[in-house]
Protein backbone atom coordinates (compact mmCIF):
# COMPACT_ATOMS: atom_id res chain seq x y z
CA UNK A 1 0.00 0.00 0.00
CA UNK A 2 2.82 2.44 0.80
CA UNK A 3 4.11 2.13 -2.75
CA UNK A 4 0.92 3.66 -4.10
CA UNK A 5 0.98 7.16 -5.43
CA UNK A 6 -2.22 9.15 -5.37
CA UNK A 7 -2.82 12.50 -6.92
CA UNK A 8 -5.95 14.37 -6.03
CA UNK A 9 -6.58 16.74 -8.87
CA UNK A 10 -9.53 19.04 -9.34
CA UNK A 11 -10.07 21.21 -12.38
CA UNK A 12 -12.42 24.10 -12.97
CA UNK A 13 -15.60 23.13 -14.82
CA UNK A 14 -17.45 25.94 -16.53
CA UNK A 15 -20.99 26.73 -15.40
CA UNK A 16 -22.25 25.73 -18.83
CA UNK A 17 -21.69 22.12 -17.82
CA UNK A 18 -25.06 22.17 -16.10
CA UNK A 19 -26.78 22.45 -19.47
CA UNK A 20 -24.54 20.17 -21.51
CA UNK A 21 -25.81 17.06 -23.22
CA UNK A 22 -23.39 14.30 -22.33
CA UNK A 23 -23.35 10.57 -21.99
CA UNK A 24 -23.50 10.44 -18.23
CA UNK A 25 -26.95 11.93 -17.84
CA UNK A 26 -29.64 9.27 -17.98
CA UNK A 27 -32.64 8.30 -15.87
CA UNK A 28 -32.50 4.59 -15.03
CA UNK A 29 -35.48 3.53 -12.97
CA UNK A 30 -37.34 0.44 -11.82
CA UNK A 31 -40.99 0.09 -10.82
CA UNK A 32 -41.47 -1.84 -7.57
CA UNK A 33 -45.10 -2.95 -7.37
CA UNK A 34 -46.69 -3.66 -4.00
CA UNK A 35 -50.22 -4.39 -5.24
CA UNK A 36 -51.00 -8.08 -4.84
CA UNK A 37 -47.43 -8.48 -3.53
CA UNK A 38 -45.98 -8.45 -7.04
CA UNK A 39 -42.50 -7.26 -6.00
CA UNK A 40 -42.58 -6.23 -2.34
CA UNK A 41 -43.19 -7.64 0.14
CA UNK A 42 -43.00 -11.09 -1.42
CA UNK A 43 -45.96 -12.16 0.70
CA UNK A 44 -48.21 -10.73 3.38
CA UNK A 45 -47.43 -11.05 7.06
CA UNK A 46 -43.63 -11.16 6.94
CA UNK A 47 -41.80 -9.88 10.02
CA UNK A 48 -40.51 -6.32 10.02
CA UNK A 49 -36.95 -7.60 9.66
CA UNK A 50 -37.90 -9.81 6.69
CA UNK A 51 -39.75 -6.96 4.97
CA UNK A 52 -36.83 -4.59 5.43
CA UNK A 53 -34.30 -7.12 4.20
CA UNK A 54 -36.30 -7.83 1.06
CA UNK A 55 -36.42 -4.13 0.28
CA UNK A 56 -32.70 -3.68 0.97
CA UNK A 57 -31.94 -6.60 -1.36
CA UNK A 58 -33.99 -4.92 -4.09
CA UNK A 59 -32.15 -1.62 -3.68
CA UNK A 60 -28.76 -3.30 -3.63
CA UNK A 61 -29.65 -5.07 -6.87
CA UNK A 62 -30.76 -1.79 -8.46
CA UNK A 63 -27.57 -0.07 -7.36
CA UNK A 64 -25.37 -2.93 -8.56
CA UNK A 65 -26.86 -2.54 -12.02
CA UNK A 66 -25.80 1.13 -12.09
CA UNK A 67 -29.38 2.37 -12.01
CA UNK A 68 -30.26 5.57 -10.18
CA UNK A 69 -33.99 5.60 -9.34
CA UNK A 70 -36.68 3.51 -7.71
CA UNK A 71 -40.41 4.05 -8.29
CA UNK A 72 -42.16 2.45 -5.34
CA UNK A 73 -45.90 1.85 -5.14
CA UNK A 74 -47.12 3.34 -1.84
CA UNK A 75 -50.89 3.67 -2.41
CA UNK A 76 -52.03 0.79 -4.63
CA UNK A 77 -55.71 0.54 -3.63
CA UNK A 78 -56.82 3.65 -1.71
CA UNK A 79 -54.69 2.39 1.17
CA UNK A 80 -51.29 3.37 2.52
CA UNK A 81 -47.72 2.35 3.13
CA UNK A 82 -47.00 5.42 5.29
CA UNK A 83 -47.66 6.38 8.90
CA UNK A 84 -47.78 10.18 8.86
CA UNK A 85 -50.82 10.50 6.56
CA UNK A 86 -53.63 8.37 7.98
CA UNK A 87 -56.69 9.28 5.93
CA UNK A 88 -56.93 5.75 4.56
CA UNK A 89 -56.26 2.31 6.13
CA UNK A 90 -52.92 0.55 6.23
CA UNK A 91 -52.53 -1.70 3.20
CA UNK A 92 -53.32 -5.36 3.64
CA UNK A 93 -50.41 -6.14 1.34
CA UNK A 94 -48.04 -5.48 4.26
CA UNK A 95 -49.58 -7.44 7.11
CA UNK A 96 -52.36 -9.43 5.44
CA UNK A 97 -55.02 -7.39 7.21
CA UNK A 98 -56.39 -4.05 6.04
CA UNK A 99 -55.88 -1.36 8.67
CA UNK A 100 -53.34 -3.30 10.73
CA UNK A 101 -50.34 -1.21 11.80
CA UNK A 102 -47.14 -2.86 10.47
CA UNK A 103 -45.16 -1.60 13.46
CA UNK A 104 -42.97 0.85 11.57
CA UNK A 105 -43.23 3.48 8.85
CA UNK A 106 -42.50 1.69 5.54
CA UNK A 107 -42.31 4.85 3.42
CA UNK A 108 -39.86 6.52 5.78
CA UNK A 109 -37.73 3.38 5.60
CA UNK A 110 -38.07 3.22 1.80
CA UNK A 111 -36.84 6.78 1.35
CA UNK A 112 -34.02 6.53 3.87
CA UNK A 113 -32.57 3.36 2.37
CA UNK A 114 -32.89 4.65 -1.20
CA UNK A 115 -31.10 7.86 -0.28
CA UNK A 116 -28.31 5.97 1.49
CA UNK A 117 -27.53 4.57 -1.95
CA UNK A 118 -28.21 7.93 -3.60
CA UNK A 119 -31.13 6.52 -5.56
CA UNK A 120 -33.95 8.90 -6.43
CA UNK A 121 -37.15 7.83 -4.71
CA UNK A 122 -40.43 8.37 -6.55
CA UNK A 123 -43.61 7.57 -4.61
CA UNK A 124 -46.10 5.80 -6.88
CA UNK A 125 -49.82 6.41 -6.24
CA UNK A 126 -52.92 4.93 -7.81
CA UNK A 127 -55.48 7.74 -7.71
CA UNK A 128 -58.88 6.04 -7.98
CA UNK A 129 -58.71 2.25 -7.50
CA UNK A 130 -60.25 1.10 -4.19
CA UNK A 131 -60.33 -2.67 -4.71
CA UNK A 132 -58.25 -4.90 -6.97
CA UNK A 133 -60.29 -8.07 -7.36
CA UNK A 134 -63.91 -8.92 -8.11
CA UNK A 135 -66.22 -8.90 -5.11
CA UNK A 136 -63.48 -7.67 -2.80
CA UNK A 137 -65.04 -5.73 0.08
CA UNK A 138 -64.22 -2.16 1.05
CA UNK A 139 -63.05 -2.06 4.70
CA UNK A 140 -65.82 -0.84 7.03
CA UNK A 141 -63.72 2.03 8.40
CA UNK A 142 -62.71 3.26 4.94
CA UNK A 143 -63.58 6.82 3.95
CA UNK A 144 -65.18 5.38 0.81
CA UNK A 145 -67.76 3.69 3.07
CA UNK A 146 -68.51 7.02 4.71
CA UNK A 147 -68.91 8.71 1.32
CA UNK A 148 -70.71 6.20 -0.92
CA UNK A 149 -71.50 8.93 -3.47
CA UNK A 150 -67.77 9.04 -4.22
CA UNK A 151 -67.72 5.39 -5.25
CA UNK A 152 -68.57 3.54 -8.47
CA UNK A 153 -68.72 -0.24 -8.82
CA UNK A 154 -67.50 -1.41 -12.20
CA UNK A 155 -66.92 -4.99 -13.24
CA UNK A 156 -67.14 -6.16 -9.64
CA UNK A 157 -64.49 -3.68 -8.49
CA UNK A 158 -64.75 -0.33 -6.74
CA UNK A 159 -63.30 3.03 -7.79
CA UNK A 160 -63.44 6.63 -6.67
CA UNK A 161 -65.48 8.54 -9.23
CA UNK A 162 -63.07 10.78 -11.22
CA UNK A 163 -66.04 13.03 -12.00
CA UNK A 164 -66.81 13.75 -8.35
CA UNK A 165 -64.87 16.87 -7.30
CA UNK A 166 -64.74 15.88 -3.63
CA UNK A 167 -63.35 12.43 -4.39
CA UNK A 168 -60.81 13.95 -6.74
CA UNK A 169 -59.72 16.58 -4.22
CA UNK A 170 -59.44 13.97 -1.49
CA UNK A 171 -56.94 11.99 -3.57
CA UNK A 172 -55.00 15.16 -4.36
CA UNK A 173 -54.79 16.08 -0.70
CA UNK A 174 -53.61 12.62 0.35
CA UNK A 175 -50.76 12.82 -2.15
CA UNK A 176 -49.80 16.38 -1.19
CA UNK A 177 -49.77 15.40 2.49
CA UNK A 178 -47.25 12.69 1.63
CA UNK A 179 -45.16 15.28 -0.22
CA UNK A 180 -45.24 17.49 2.89
CA UNK A 181 -44.31 14.74 5.33
CA UNK A 182 -41.74 12.67 3.45
CA UNK A 183 -38.47 13.46 1.72
CA UNK A 184 -39.49 11.98 -1.63
CA UNK A 185 -37.96 13.06 -4.93
CA UNK A 186 -40.99 12.50 -7.13
CA UNK A 187 -44.71 11.77 -7.30
CA UNK A 188 -45.56 9.11 -9.85
CA UNK A 189 -48.70 7.64 -11.41
CA UNK A 190 -49.28 4.98 -14.00
CA UNK A 191 -52.09 4.50 -16.53
CA UNK A 192 -55.02 3.89 -14.18
CA UNK A 193 -57.24 6.97 -14.25
CA UNK A 194 -60.56 5.86 -15.67
CA UNK A 195 -60.54 2.04 -15.59
CA UNK A 196 -59.87 -0.12 -18.62
CA UNK A 197 -63.16 -1.20 -20.25
CA UNK A 198 -64.95 -4.28 -18.95
CA UNK A 199 -66.69 -6.52 -21.51
CA UNK A 200 -69.94 -8.39 -20.91
CA UNK A 201 -70.71 -11.93 -22.04
CA UNK A 202 -71.40 -10.66 -25.56
CA UNK A 203 -68.05 -8.85 -25.62
CA UNK A 204 -69.70 -5.45 -25.50
CA UNK A 205 -68.29 -2.70 -23.29
CA UNK A 206 -70.07 -2.36 -19.98
CA UNK A 207 -70.84 1.35 -19.40
CA UNK A 208 -68.96 3.01 -16.56
CA UNK A 209 -71.58 4.12 -14.02
CA UNK A 210 -70.87 7.84 -13.73
CA UNK A 211 -74.27 8.99 -15.05
CA UNK A 212 -75.17 10.73 -11.78
CA UNK A 213 -71.99 12.82 -11.55
CA UNK A 214 -72.18 13.56 -15.29
CA UNK A 215 -75.65 15.03 -14.84
CA UNK A 216 -74.45 17.11 -11.89
CA UNK A 217 -71.18 18.37 -13.34
CA UNK A 218 -71.22 17.72 -17.11
CA UNK A 219 -72.45 21.23 -17.97
CA UNK A 220 -73.55 20.28 -21.47
CA UNK A 221 -70.25 18.69 -22.48
CA UNK A 222 -70.09 15.41 -24.36
CA UNK A 223 -69.54 12.53 -21.95
CA UNK A 224 -66.10 11.67 -23.36
CA UNK A 225 -64.92 15.30 -23.30
CA UNK A 226 -66.18 15.70 -19.75
CA UNK A 227 -64.28 12.60 -18.62
CA UNK A 228 -61.08 13.86 -20.24
CA UNK A 229 -61.62 17.22 -18.56
CA UNK A 230 -61.92 15.47 -15.20
CA UNK A 231 -58.58 13.74 -15.71
CA UNK A 232 -56.98 16.97 -16.97
CA UNK A 233 -58.27 18.84 -13.93
CA UNK A 234 -56.85 16.24 -11.58
CA UNK A 235 -53.41 16.36 -13.22
CA UNK A 236 -53.38 20.17 -13.35
CA UNK A 237 -54.55 20.68 -9.75
CA UNK A 238 -52.21 18.06 -8.33
CA UNK A 239 -49.27 19.54 -10.24
CA UNK A 240 -49.93 22.99 -8.81
CA UNK A 241 -50.29 21.66 -5.28
CA UNK A 242 -47.06 19.65 -5.48
CA UNK A 243 -45.07 22.59 -6.81
CA UNK A 244 -46.52 24.95 -4.22
CA UNK A 245 -45.52 22.54 -1.46
CA UNK A 246 -42.06 21.50 -2.67
CA UNK A 247 -41.05 22.92 -6.08
CA UNK A 248 -38.19 20.45 -6.47
CA UNK A 249 -40.40 17.36 -6.21
CA UNK A 250 -40.93 16.05 -9.73
CA UNK A 251 -44.32 14.93 -10.98
CA UNK A 252 -44.40 12.14 -13.53
CA UNK A 253 -46.98 9.93 -15.18
CA UNK A 254 -46.60 6.62 -17.01
CA UNK A 255 -49.50 6.28 -19.47
CA UNK A 256 -50.45 3.45 -21.77
CA UNK A 257 -48.09 3.48 -24.76
CA UNK A 258 -50.57 4.75 -27.37
CA UNK A 259 -52.22 8.18 -27.24
CA UNK A 260 -54.42 7.57 -30.32
CA UNK A 261 -54.13 5.41 -33.40
CA UNK A 262 -53.83 7.44 -36.60
CA UNK A 263 -57.01 5.91 -38.06
CA UNK A 264 -58.89 8.06 -35.52
CA UNK A 265 -56.58 11.06 -35.56
CA UNK A 266 -54.02 11.79 -38.30
CA UNK A 267 -51.66 13.17 -35.64
CA UNK A 268 -51.76 9.87 -33.73
CA UNK A 269 -49.24 7.06 -34.05
CA UNK A 270 -49.12 4.57 -36.93
CA UNK A 271 -50.45 1.82 -34.68
CA UNK A 272 -53.56 -0.28 -34.28
CA UNK A 273 -53.59 -0.84 -30.54
CA UNK A 274 -56.86 -1.97 -29.02
CA UNK A 275 -56.71 0.60 -26.23
CA UNK A 276 -55.85 4.29 -26.45
CA UNK A 277 -55.21 6.86 -23.76
CA UNK A 278 -57.45 9.48 -25.31
CA UNK A 279 -60.50 7.37 -26.15
CA UNK A 280 -60.30 4.43 -23.74
CA UNK A 281 -58.82 5.84 -20.53
CA UNK A 282 -59.82 9.49 -21.04
CA UNK A 283 -56.23 10.56 -20.47
CA UNK A 284 -55.15 13.28 -22.89
CA UNK A 285 -51.40 13.02 -22.42
CA UNK A 286 -50.81 15.57 -25.17
CA UNK A 287 -52.55 18.26 -23.14
CA UNK A 288 -50.47 17.46 -20.06
CA UNK A 289 -47.26 17.81 -22.03
CA UNK A 290 -48.27 20.97 -23.86
CA UNK A 291 -49.29 22.64 -20.59
CA UNK A 292 -46.20 21.27 -18.80
CA UNK A 293 -48.23 20.06 -15.86
CA UNK A 294 -45.80 17.16 -15.49
CA UNK A 295 -42.02 17.03 -15.30
CA UNK A 296 -41.65 13.69 -17.02
CA UNK A 297 -43.69 11.14 -18.92
CA UNK A 298 -42.99 7.41 -19.20
CA UNK A 299 -45.12 5.83 -21.94
CA UNK A 300 -45.40 2.08 -21.42
CA UNK A 301 -44.06 0.91 -24.75
CA UNK A 302 -44.39 -2.74 -23.84
CA UNK A 303 -43.97 -4.09 -27.37
CA UNK A 304 -41.11 -5.29 -29.54
CA UNK A 305 -39.63 -3.97 -32.77
CA UNK A 306 -41.53 -6.46 -34.94
CA UNK A 307 -45.06 -6.28 -33.53
CA UNK A 308 -47.09 -5.01 -36.49
CA UNK A 309 -49.94 -3.37 -34.56
CA UNK A 310 -47.62 -1.38 -32.27
CA UNK A 311 -43.95 -1.35 -33.21
CA UNK A 312 -41.50 -0.18 -30.58
CA UNK A 313 -39.54 2.24 -32.77
CA UNK A 314 -42.65 3.80 -34.31
CA UNK A 315 -44.01 4.62 -30.86
CA UNK A 316 -40.72 5.95 -29.49
CA UNK A 317 -40.47 8.26 -32.50
CA UNK A 318 -44.05 9.45 -31.96
CA UNK A 319 -43.46 10.29 -28.29
CA UNK A 320 -40.21 12.07 -29.13
CA UNK A 321 -42.20 14.41 -31.35
CA UNK A 322 -44.75 14.96 -28.57
CA UNK A 323 -42.19 16.25 -26.05
CA UNK A 324 -40.21 18.29 -28.57
CA UNK A 325 -39.53 21.85 -27.32
CA UNK A 326 -41.27 21.18 -24.01
CA UNK A 327 -40.07 21.14 -20.42
CA UNK A 328 -41.13 17.53 -20.04
CA UNK A 329 -38.60 14.72 -19.99
CA UNK A 330 -39.35 11.56 -21.93
CA UNK A 331 -38.37 8.25 -20.35
CA UNK A 332 -39.44 4.96 -21.95
CA UNK A 333 -41.25 2.26 -19.99
CA UNK A 334 -39.89 -1.19 -20.90
CA UNK A 335 -41.58 -4.58 -20.52
CA UNK A 336 -38.98 -6.56 -18.58
CA UNK A 337 -41.86 -8.79 -17.48
CA UNK A 338 -42.19 -10.10 -21.05
CA UNK A 339 -38.68 -11.53 -21.18
CA UNK A 340 -38.90 -15.11 -22.45
CA UNK A 341 -42.66 -14.93 -23.06
CA UNK A 342 -42.72 -15.33 -26.87
CA UNK A 343 -40.44 -15.49 -29.89
CA UNK A 344 -39.59 -11.77 -29.91
CA UNK A 345 -38.91 -11.70 -26.19
CA UNK A 346 -36.85 -14.88 -26.27
CA UNK A 347 -34.23 -12.79 -28.03
CA UNK A 348 -32.04 -11.79 -25.10
CA UNK A 349 -31.05 -8.56 -26.86
CA UNK A 350 -34.59 -7.23 -27.41
CA UNK A 351 -34.55 -5.04 -24.32
CA UNK A 352 -30.90 -4.09 -24.80
CA UNK A 353 -31.56 -3.04 -28.39
CA UNK A 354 -34.48 -0.89 -27.21
CA UNK A 355 -32.21 1.00 -24.82
CA UNK A 356 -29.60 1.44 -27.53
CA UNK A 357 -32.28 2.72 -29.88
CA UNK A 358 -33.40 5.29 -27.31
CA UNK A 359 -29.88 6.65 -27.08
CA UNK A 360 -30.00 7.74 -30.72
CA UNK A 361 -32.31 10.57 -29.73
CA UNK A 362 -31.58 13.63 -27.63
CA UNK A 363 -35.16 13.82 -26.35
CA UNK A 364 -35.14 10.36 -24.79
CA UNK A 365 -33.66 10.86 -21.34
CA UNK A 366 -33.82 7.37 -19.91
CA UNK A 367 -35.70 4.16 -19.18
CA UNK A 368 -37.90 2.55 -16.54
CA UNK A 369 -38.44 -1.22 -16.23
CA UNK A 370 -41.54 -3.13 -15.15
CA UNK A 371 -41.02 -6.73 -14.11
CA UNK A 372 -38.15 -6.43 -11.68
CA UNK A 373 -38.46 -10.09 -10.70
CA UNK A 374 -37.25 -11.06 -14.19
CA UNK A 375 -34.21 -8.84 -13.71
CA UNK A 376 -33.53 -10.26 -10.24
CA UNK A 377 -33.64 -13.80 -11.62
CA UNK A 378 -31.37 -12.82 -14.53
CA UNK A 379 -33.90 -14.24 -16.99
CA UNK A 380 -32.27 -14.71 -20.41
CA UNK A 381 -29.12 -13.06 -18.99
CA UNK A 382 -30.90 -9.71 -18.72
CA UNK A 383 -29.01 -8.63 -15.60
CA UNK A 384 -25.70 -9.58 -17.16
CA UNK A 385 -26.55 -7.89 -20.45
CA UNK A 386 -27.69 -4.67 -18.77
CA UNK A 387 -24.46 -4.42 -16.81
CA UNK A 388 -22.13 -5.39 -19.64
CA UNK A 389 -23.80 -3.81 -22.68
CA UNK A 390 -25.66 -0.63 -21.67
CA UNK A 391 -25.20 0.14 -17.96
CA UNK A 392 -21.47 -0.40 -17.65
CA UNK A 393 -20.94 2.62 -15.41
CA UNK A 394 -22.86 4.74 -12.96
CA UNK A 395 -24.53 7.89 -14.30
CA UNK A 396 -26.20 10.99 -12.92
CA UNK A 397 -29.88 11.60 -13.73
CA UNK A 398 -30.68 14.45 -16.14
CA UNK A 399 -31.10 17.98 -14.86
CA UNK A 400 -34.47 19.77 -14.82
CA UNK A 401 -33.60 23.37 -15.72
CA UNK A 402 -37.24 24.48 -15.60
CA UNK A 403 -37.19 23.66 -11.87
CA UNK A 404 -33.78 25.10 -11.00
CA UNK A 405 -30.54 26.03 -12.77
CA UNK A 406 -28.46 27.32 -9.86
CA UNK A 407 -25.60 24.95 -9.10
CA UNK A 408 -24.19 24.53 -5.58
CA UNK A 409 -20.88 26.10 -4.53
CA UNK A 410 -17.60 24.17 -4.89
CA UNK A 411 -16.40 21.99 -2.06
CA UNK A 412 -13.28 23.05 -0.14
CA UNK A 413 -10.42 21.64 1.93
CA UNK A 414 -10.20 18.43 -0.07
CA UNK A 415 -7.81 15.84 1.33
CA UNK A 416 -6.70 12.36 0.36
CA UNK A 417 -5.22 9.98 2.91
CA UNK A 418 -3.82 6.52 2.35
CA UNK A 419 -5.12 4.13 4.97
CA UNK A 420 -5.11 0.36 5.34
CA UNK A 421 -8.26 -0.21 3.29
CA UNK A 422 -7.65 2.30 0.49
CA UNK A 423 -7.76 6.03 -0.10
CA UNK A 424 -9.90 8.13 2.23
CA UNK A 425 -11.21 11.27 0.55
CA UNK A 426 -12.57 14.07 2.75
CA UNK A 427 -13.81 17.56 2.00
CA UNK A 428 -15.72 20.50 3.45
CA UNK A 429 -18.86 22.14 2.14
CA UNK A 430 -19.48 25.91 2.42
CA UNK A 431 -22.00 27.10 4.97
CA UNK A 432 -25.53 27.52 3.61
CA UNK A 433 -24.67 25.52 0.52
CA UNK A 434 -27.44 23.44 -0.99
CA UNK A 435 -25.53 20.44 -2.27
CA UNK A 436 -27.57 17.28 -1.91
CA UNK A 437 -24.80 14.90 -2.85
CA UNK A 438 -21.31 14.76 -4.34
CA UNK A 439 -20.12 13.21 -7.59
CA UNK A 440 -16.64 11.70 -7.33
CA UNK A 441 -14.71 11.15 -10.53
CA UNK A 442 -11.49 9.18 -10.89
CA UNK A 443 -9.00 8.43 -13.61
CA UNK A 444 -5.46 7.19 -14.05
CA UNK A 445 -5.00 9.86 -16.72
CA UNK A 446 -4.00 13.35 -15.63
CA UNK A 447 -6.30 14.94 -18.18
CA UNK A 448 -9.74 13.36 -18.34
CA UNK A 449 -13.21 14.47 -19.27
CA UNK A 450 -15.54 14.41 -16.27
CA UNK A 451 -18.47 14.52 -18.71
CA UNK A 452 -17.66 10.94 -19.64
CA UNK A 453 -19.57 8.57 -17.39
CA UNK A 454 -16.79 6.01 -17.30
CA UNK A 455 -14.93 8.26 -14.85
CA UNK A 456 -17.80 8.54 -12.37
CA UNK A 457 -16.58 6.50 -9.43
CA UNK A 458 -19.53 7.02 -7.12
CA UNK A 459 -21.93 9.52 -5.59
CA UNK A 460 -22.15 10.32 -1.89
CA UNK A 461 -25.20 11.77 -0.17
CA UNK A 462 -24.37 14.84 1.91
CA UNK A 463 -26.51 13.60 4.78
CA UNK A 464 -24.21 10.64 5.34
CA UNK A 465 -20.93 12.51 5.66
CA UNK A 466 -18.36 14.42 3.63
CA UNK A 467 -16.05 11.50 2.98
CA UNK A 468 -15.56 8.48 0.79
CA UNK A 469 -13.27 5.47 1.07
CA UNK A 470 -12.02 4.29 -2.31
CA UNK A 471 -11.23 0.61 -1.84
CA UNK A 472 -10.99 -0.36 -5.49
CA UNK A 473 -7.37 0.57 -6.11
CA UNK A 474 -4.29 -1.10 -7.52
CA UNK A 475 -0.64 -0.90 -6.56
CA UNK A 476 1.81 1.33 -8.40
CA UNK A 477 -0.87 3.48 -9.98
CA UNK A 478 -1.47 7.20 -9.82
CA UNK A 479 -5.09 8.24 -9.43
CA UNK A 480 -6.64 11.60 -10.25
CA UNK A 481 -9.85 12.61 -8.48
CA UNK A 482 -12.46 15.29 -9.02
CA UNK A 483 -15.23 16.02 -6.51
CA UNK A 484 -18.25 18.06 -7.53
CA UNK A 485 -21.30 19.13 -5.47
CA UNK A 486 -24.71 18.34 -6.97
CA UNK A 487 -28.14 19.61 -5.87
CA UNK A 488 -31.29 17.51 -5.62
CA UNK A 489 -32.37 18.26 -9.18
CA UNK A 490 -28.87 17.28 -10.35
CA UNK A 491 -27.28 20.62 -11.18
CA UNK A 492 -23.56 20.02 -10.77
CA UNK A 493 -21.43 22.77 -9.30
CA UNK A 494 -17.98 23.87 -10.28
CA UNK A 495 -14.90 21.92 -9.23
CA UNK A 496 -12.32 23.99 -7.42
CA UNK A 497 -8.78 23.39 -8.64
CA UNK A 498 -6.57 21.78 -6.03
CA UNK A 499 -3.81 19.20 -6.26
CA UNK A 500 -2.67 17.02 -3.38
CA UNK A 501 0.02 14.40 -3.83
CA UNK A 502 0.21 11.49 -1.39
CA UNK A 503 2.93 8.85 -1.45
Asked which of 80-84, 210-214, 333-337, 454-458 is least confident by mean pLDDT, the reply is 454-458
What are the angstrom distances between the C-alpha of 83 and each of 48, 136, 181?
15, 24, 10
Whether the predicted pLDDT of 254 surpasses 60: yes
The pLDDT, as a whole number, for residue 24 is 72
Burial bucket for residue 367 (CB in 10 Å: 0-12, 13-18, 19+): buried
Domain boundaries, the chain: 5-15+403-502, 24-390
Are the CB atoms for 460 and 423 separated by under 8 Å? Answer: no
Give the residue-averaged pLDDT of 62-71: 98
Tell me the pLDDT band of 179, cut-offs 50, 70 and 90: very high
Task: Give the total residue count for the chain.
Answer: 503
Pairwise pLDDT comparison (474 vs 425), residue with the higher score: 425
Give the residue-averaged pLDDT of 65-88: 98
The pLDDT, as a whole number, for residue 478 is 86
What are the angstrom distances between the C-alpha of 235 and each of 152, 238, 253, 281?
20, 5, 9, 14
CATH of range 24-390; options 3.50.50.60, 3.30.420.40, 2.30.31.70, 3.20.20.80: 3.20.20.80
Burial bucket for residue 377 (CB in 10 Å: 0-12, 13-18, 19+): exposed
Give the residue-averaged pLDDT of 412-438: 90
* H or E element, residue 461: strand 456-461
pLDDT digits (tens, 9 = 90+) for 145-172: 999 999 999 999 999 999 999 999 999 9
The pLDDT, as a whole number, for residue 417 is 87
Residue 40, SS3 per DSSP: coil
Q: Which one-letter DSSP state was computed for residue 384?
A: H
pLDDT digits (tens, 9 = 90+) for 186-227: 999 999 999 999 999 999 999 999 999 999 999 999 999 999
Give the residue-averaged pLDDT of 487-499: 81
Among 32, 30, 98, residue whose Cα is nearest residue 66: 30
The pLDDT, as a whole number, for residue 6 is 42
Pairwise pLDDT comparison (443 vs 351), residue with the higher score: 351
Among 449, 444, 438, 453, residue whose Cα is nearest residue 392: 453
Whether the predicted pLDDT of 392 surpasses 60: yes
- C-beta atoms surrounding 180 within 10 Å: 12
% of residues, the chain, pLDDT over 70:
94
CA distance 165 to 310: 35
Mean pLDDT, the chain, as a whole number? 92
CA distance 124 to 71: 6
CA distance 287 to 213: 23
Alpha carbon 502 to chain centroid, angstroms:
41
The pLDDT, as a whole number, for residue 497 is 52
Does the predicted model carry a pTM greater than 0.85? yes
Pairwise pLDDT comparison (433 vs 367), residue with the higher score: 367
pLDDT digits (tens, 9 = 90+) for 296-309: 999 999 999 999 99
Are the CB atoms for 496 and 455 separated by under 8 Å? Answer: no
Whether the predicted pLDDT of 49 surpasses 80: yes
Q: Under CATH, what is the fold of the domain 5-15+403-502? A: Immunoglobulin-like (2.60.40)
The pLDDT, as a whole number, for residue 23 is 52
Tell me the pLDDT band of 418, cut-offs 50, 70 and 90: confident
Whether the predicted pLDDT of 14 surpasses 60: no
Pairwise pLDDT comparison (266 vs 498), residue with the higher score: 266
Asked which of 125-129, 175-179, 414-418, 466-470 is least confident by mean pLDDT, the reply is 414-418
Are the CB atoms for 68 and 119 separated by under 8 Å? Answer: yes
pLDDT digits (tens, 9 = 90+) for 184-196: 999 999 999 999 9
The pLDDT, as a whole number, for residue 7 is 47
Asked which of 30-39, 42-51, 469-478 is least confident by mean pLDDT, the reply is 469-478
CA distance 67 to 30: 8
Tell me the pLDDT band of 454, cut-offs 50, 70 and 90: confident
Amino acid sequence: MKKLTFLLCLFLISFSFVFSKDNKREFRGVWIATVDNINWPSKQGLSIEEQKQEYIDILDEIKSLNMNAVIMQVRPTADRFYKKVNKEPWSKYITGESGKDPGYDPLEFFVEEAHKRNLEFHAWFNPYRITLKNNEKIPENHIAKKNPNWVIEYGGKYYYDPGNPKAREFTEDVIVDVVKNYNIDGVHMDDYFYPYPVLDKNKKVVPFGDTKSYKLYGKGMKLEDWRRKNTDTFVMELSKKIKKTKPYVKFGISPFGVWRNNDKDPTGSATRAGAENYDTLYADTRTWIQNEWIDYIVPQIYWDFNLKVAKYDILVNWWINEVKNSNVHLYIGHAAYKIGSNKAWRNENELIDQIKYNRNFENVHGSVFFGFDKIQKNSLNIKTNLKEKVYETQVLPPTSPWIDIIAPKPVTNIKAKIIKDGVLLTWDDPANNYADYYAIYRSTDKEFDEKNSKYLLTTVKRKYGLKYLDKNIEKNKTYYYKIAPVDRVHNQGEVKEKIILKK
